[in-house]
Chains A and B, each alone.
Chain A
């Protein structure tokens, strides 16, 4: 008996179901109509969120993935639809976010003819995808979808692009699905030597007087939060987080040293320079973390635990590289760790914190004499109002750094931000994706007036799909981070960083989104409470002090020793 034949579009949807997909973010167009036609039939099995721009479909899929740990899925049409996804894909590539992006392509016989809405998506996305494939025949669909999901989530996760020709969408095929089993096992770590390396690592840790763990997003991706916490507690080792690693350990944990890098806390940056042993877990020593690499951690040996061997010795010389899954590696090290008191070291941390409080934090949280609101105050008040329980999704700029510095996190996967690519416009759509992924958690998008206007149209997505995301807009009428650099390094020549903005409250009203504007600190807490008690989407515009700077700051290319504040 022959099997029933279905078209490629249906085969694609069935394949997605087999991979456990129930949510996707997309935008239809001419070439992808056959797929959307099938989606019409399968509407009861997929929650398809109609975005307002393809770039935001990718960011939403990223937010979804970062909040849930699952693979995010987004769909766009050929040509401009596909090219619009590129920024999002590049963002996911830099931040190791697993997504599968399905873009349409013209019919096979028209490939390469500059057909209407044809763009060579595969070539365009090669440098920013982990893998990509153009499907030209419906029969390929199940195996390629299976491979795409496997690749996206395995090893160091990343974006995969499937270019789906119209031919493959409409061709009839028999459907048979099998999960991907690689011949050359991808991401399979030759873990035979983990135990011997772990022994060596434990010896180094036990002998260290001033150890510092630096936790990156790899801890969260690997699900190694518990192991990280155990390692810190068993060895009495302070833990610093990178921007992407924030929330991998509760900020209230006594061993949490703060976040490292350009706008990080004084304590972990100073500790990096003083430390005799850096234990880097799932992080990549990005330039924003290290500053001048030649003068980075001059006294420290480095143990680097990562799943991507390309990161070893790339930016910082590694003394002991352990290739593997963070959870597995740390768990192997754990039993050999001895608890040390290291009183001097913890005093050093406390003193650095006291110094930062005195020099920066207290001042930033005081605000202005006229009762205007500083961004630090706004983030601090928000963090207290949500009790550290919310997922904070940020855009890119000053508000992002304030959010990283002043937010409190109790749970993992609570800080979602564009770290590597620094994509303005990321915040709002990523928050939409996160809220769709974890509807039971409070999701707050903290955005600036510049970034919000790069994806402002997504208010339409919020309205249409009823996404209960809270938007805290920190509006200083400036592209604040660029202005800060202009002030500090370009003699206050504010070249095109001042913004004349629309009335955001009126815009929110037009989209039927509850909103309020707050301008004075004395009203801030009440406004935040009102926002949080509202069921459904809400925009709170906080007018902030115009020329506020994020400190401390390690100027680009400077050493961590040269922090300015």
Chain B
């Protein structure tokens, strides 16, 4: 059965490591839905988070292949529910949203988002949450014909596992 699998890899922060990771997906003709690389809590080690829709067998093969790669220190795959993960999104909204103050307050409070910039033409809303939550707000603004721009980060994740266990795996 195909479903979304999130691969989390701790890698040396070096040139070409990311290409080696994505090549494992390319080789099997799998599209990457979201990808995020950022510094981890260990100096010189980056966290790579990739989500793709595929089967368990395939994701196991990918992870086994990646585990062999030299600059990949630790890699495993998860389902959404195994991880604490969030995405952040920015929404560019036409300033006419302010015409109806009560409706605007309602959106802001209901979606748990905040305004980070405002000018005559538009304002920028920022919201973090699950992909579903982000999509919900996007749909709503689109429906109201107010959305003029949208951008979303990849997944930012933390394991539920203890820090000691992880440090052991990586070092």
Residues of chain A whose beta carbon lies under 8 Å from any beta carbon of chain B: 122-123, 126-127, 130-134, 151, 155-156, 183-184, 186, 308-310, 314
Q: B21-47 vs A: 1/0 string, CB under 8 Å? A: 001001100000000000000000000
- Neighbouring A residues of B27 by C-beta, 8 Å: 127
Chain A CB within 8 A of B64 CB: yes
Tell me whether B68 and A310 are in contact (CB under 8 A): yes
Report the Cα distance A378→B64, complex, angstroms: 44
Contacts A309-B64, A310-B67 given; does A126 touch B23 at CB 8 Å? yes
Contact of A126 among B20, B61, B64, B73 (CB under 8 A): B20
Report the Cα distance A151→B64, complex, angstroms: 18
Tell me whether A123 and B68 are in contact (CB under 8 A): no
Q: 8 A-B Cβ contacts within 8 A?
A: A122-B19, A127-B26, A130-B68, A130-B70, A132-B16, A134-B16, A151-B70, A309-B67
Closest to A128 in B: B23
Query: Which of B16, B65, B171 is packed against the most chain A CB atoms within 10 Å?
Result: B16
Chain A CB within 8 A of B116 CB: no
CB distance from B168 to the nearest CB of A (A): 11
Apart from A126-B20, A126-B23, A127-B27, what are 13 other A-B pairs with CB-CB below 8 Å?
A122-B16, A123-B16, A126-B16, A127-B23, A130-B70, A131-B70, A134-B15, A151-B70, A184-B171, A309-B67, A310-B64, A310-B67, A310-B68
CB distance from A270 to the nearest CB of B (A): 30
Total inter-chain residue pairs, C-beta < 8 Å? 39
- Chain A interface helix/strand/loop/mixed: mixed
Closest to B16 in A: A122
Query: Which of A122, A131, A156, A310 is packed against the most chain B CB atoms within 10 Å?
Result: A310
Residues of chain B whose beta carbon lies under 8 Å from any beta carbon of chain A: 15-16, 19-20, 23, 26-27, 61, 64-65, 67-71, 73, 170-171
CB distance from A2 to the nearest CB of B (A): 30
- Neighbouring A residues of B16 by C-beta, 8 Å: 122-123, 126, 132-134
Closest to A312 in B: B64
Closest to B74 in A: A184
- Neighbouring A residues of B69 by C-beta, 8 Å: 131
Query: Which of A127, A132, A155, A184 is packed against the most chain B CB atoms within 10 Å?
Result: A184
Report the Cα distance A123→B71, complex, angstroms: 16
Report the Cα distance A314→B20, complex, angstroms: 20
- Neighbouring B residues of A156 by C-beta, 8 Å: 68
Report the Cα distance A130→B20, complex, angstroms: 10
Report the Cα distance A309→B60, complex, angstroms: 11
Closest to B20 in A: A126
Closest to B170 in A: A184
Report the Cα distance A17→B9, complex, angstroms: 36
CB distance from A321 to the nearest CB of B (A): 12
- Neighbouring A residues of B73 by C-beta, 8 Å: 184
Tell me whether A308 and B70 are in contact (CB under 8 A): no
CB distance from B57 to the nearest CB of A (A): 9
- Neighbouring A residues of B70 by C-beta, 8 Å: 130-131, 151, 186
